[in-house]
Amino acid sequence: MSNSELRQITATAFPSSAELVLRDQSLAPIERGIGRIKTSVPAGLYVLQAQIGARSVEKLLRVADADINIKRDELRLEIPSPTPTHGTSTLNETHEEAAQYLSQNPWRSVDPCLGRLLLMVRDIRGVKGRAVRPEDVDGVTLTDFNGDTILDVAQAVRQVREDSQQQPLETKGWIAFSADLEPGTFVVRWPQPDSPSESTPRFIEQPIVIPSPGSTAMGDETPWTVCIFIHRDPATKRLLHESTRVHLTPLPTGFHGWNDESIQINLALESALTAVERGEPTAVVDLSRDDMQVLLRDKFSNPMLGIVGAHALLLRPQVNWSTFETVVNNLRRLVPGHPDVEALRAIGYSRRSADAGRSDIVIETPPMLAASYRSIVDQEWAERGLIRPGSLAEKVAGRLINCGPWTMWTAASASPVDDLIELNLTGSRGHSARGGTARGGEPPVGIDAAVIARASRWLEGVRRWAESEGSDDLELRPEHLGHALGLPPVTAERVFDLLSQP
């Protein structure tokens, strides 16, 4: 076939990190590219595929007498995200402007500022009905890791709403606050609308780490702004805390979501979080090479990218340990002492069976990523001493819930003795691990009644299964309970002993 009978297909995708594949009518690939392809083909039917992460689109092309030019606006891969940034299907430009302004102009400031927190709850653009308002965060509080309240979020966003009316900011569809805080671990308490009663509301708690100022490649010390973005369900008006997205940005710069680099960064982060949440080696294949490079390269401007990227590296069938170690060492300089980075260090030592350096890692507060937390609990069973006894990281392990890629747990019981009475564990008879009876008093110090309740139900279920199978010789040990409920060794042993007392 002569060149005069060929027609040219040119296609450009958005974002530029999307993988493009042109297929003939038998669906055999004839051209590939990242962000853009240009090729000559004979007349006929073709399928153009664009993919980024787990999201893809297809376009049917009929090649006849003229060349075809597909522009980026015709081949857009947009994903939903609570982060108000271009390149997502849930963008609202006024939310983006508000996030930038508040990240640079805190509602509550201190001098010198060593850390800042921005929290924004927002609606999706075009959603009908009542817009989000301060009452939607009634009951949401920010506490320190000892449980003492730092601020009432509803009160803070009301003040910001009033102040914003004096600024050139559109306030519809979002509520937010920003405040300067000392570096450390904080906990956001989210009230649950399906609480059993108003007098005893259930809360979901989420750790937020404001890192200490870190050293950049230029040797400067950089304080960090932690940016938290959450969607509100348009139907139920419930805060979708499981969809939370967290970013770390240099404090003077603040949040930016509109340039091409920010778009690629946010899309790469969304794809990587999906892979890490799924936790399977096949999931990380959905990450394009460009996405991985973005995560690891741009960790200097957003260390959360490096943390997520390092977890994605660990999902690869063949881990590049040199790259992994370089990323972790850079993160230690950028966000010193961050529990997610310390967890990554521990994972690296464990996976490589290297003891050197492992002894100096002690986790006291829960990491922000659930993948980090699960890994340190598993490692504690292999070698004690990673989780500090009596710390928050030990106490909440038994109350973890599956809630997206982030670490979250149910709040401690308000009336532990009442809960134990309901389980017949305060002076009455209960089931032991082997089907006998147990007598117990109040829960051991530092162990929540909800954890004991879960353990009791699990042991009872195992006992009943053993009876139905005729397995009278079933021998349960604390490690069985620990692995089943995700408990660290000390907690599992104490609960097991309590429930197995004759």
3-state DSSP of 101-167 = HHHHCCCECCCCCCEEEEEEEECCCCCCCCCCCHHHHCCCEEEECCCCEEEEHHHHHHHHHHHHCCC
Topology of domain 3-74, per CATH?
Immunoglobulin-like (2.60.40)
Phi then psi for residue 74, to 5 deg, are -90, -10
* Terminal CA-CA length for the chain: 88
Phi then psi for residue 225, to 5 deg, are -105, 125
Question: Is residue 302 within 8 Å of residue 267, measured between CB atoms?
Answer: no
What does the pLDDT read at residue 428? Answer: 34
What does the pLDDT read at residue 285? Answer: 52
Would you give the distance in Å from CA 222 to the centre of its chain? 23
pLDDT (tens digit, 9 = 90+) per residue, 104-158? Answer: 999 888 888 999 999 999 987 666 667 888 888 898 999 998 889 999 999 999 9
Higher pLDDT, 191 or 270: 191
Q: What is the dihedral of CA 104, 308, 147, 203, to 10 degrees?
A: 100
Which pairing describes strands 29-34 and 19-23: parallel, antiparallel, or unpaired?
Answer: antiparallel
Residues 6+ apart with CB under 8 A from 179: 106, 107, 108, 109, 116, 117, 151, 156
Taking every pair of C-alpha atoms in the chain, what is the biggest distance, in angstroms?
92
Based on the number of CB atoms within 10 Å of its own CB, is 159 exposed (0-12), middle (13-18) or buried (19 or more)?
middle
Peptide bond into 367 cis (omega under 30): no
Helix, coil or strand: residue 39 = strand
Please report, rounded to a whole number, the percentage of residues in the chain having pLDDT higher than 90.
34
pLDDT (tens digit, 9 = 90+) per residue, 96-105? Answer: 888 999 999 9
Query: What is the average pLDDT value for the chain, to the nearest integer?
Result: 81
Whether residue 416 has pLDDT greater than 70: no
